[in-house]
Structure 1
């Protein structure tokens, strides 16, 4: 099964405009997918929202003020096998290092999506997908890094992919940020959520 990461990002978020991420990431082969549905009470959701607000630069409540009727939001992260924060150096070198991490390797992509079902409960779906990116030739890395720098500075997907095992939060059709530690959030959700069903795990041939 072949899945194009750029196309799915465009479908889900709709904020990639000028940069053709397909040329950067190529096709992605899905190796394995796991889905965990759960719900949060309104009280627990407020606590999660507070947690997010305290740890991200583009705050969730700002998005809600701009689009008060919008109840759908999502959290995205890329978890690399190689746990590197890619800190230091120029933006170009960081982008190049990121592309090298993607190239020809298997990674886990986490998506958490939630939608209000009633006044007191919010339903979530947490998906973790193991994917393998196409190999990117060395001679293309510098050019692709330049593209990532330009895209980063243009205000689209800011510094797309430079997340290590950190979370990117996207609320609504615009906006995004990075910098929220994944494990503390997952521990927090586990503590405050009620799992609706057992984990559904699907092996992709």
Structure 2
């Protein structure tokens, strides 16, 4: 059993920001094939803004307040579609751990699952539509199953990452039906969805920092 406090969540967002920044060029290349070639830039701006905002947060701040600050910062920095999606994710995560100063393993998984559900609800996307939901939803389901089976936080997040990687890879065979890439129709087949790719990067950073 581990515990996660505000300081650890701040380190998680630092890790995500660093991972996204390192992956920015690849994400832009992926987006250049089926989108506007700016996904990596938008994600780096968003998580950079979150990191800077959270630097100002006191260690005594509860996780819910930290996550709500992350939501506001990301939304203010990113005007693209990913802005409202991740802002909703963080707000849902905040609601899932409301009133808790220290998060136990089950709380972290509840936060993770709430984030994924927030992305799906806000984007109104289903599995198989070639979006970030194809990585986030399987990841959340795998994490929940592992946690309920008594697995550790590390093992649960390992399961989440493996499911996210498989889900993202599967988007290559899908026809895009959401967003700008949907205009390509069958021409979108064979290409990895950039939103699903960045989801894997985020989930991997979360696993590495929280486990």
TM-score, normalised relative to structure 2: 0.23
Structure with the largest fraction of helix: 2
RCO comparison, higher one (Cα < 8 Å, 6+): 1
Report the structure, 1 or 2, having the larger strand content: 1
From the CA coordinates, give the structure whose radius of gyration is larger.
1
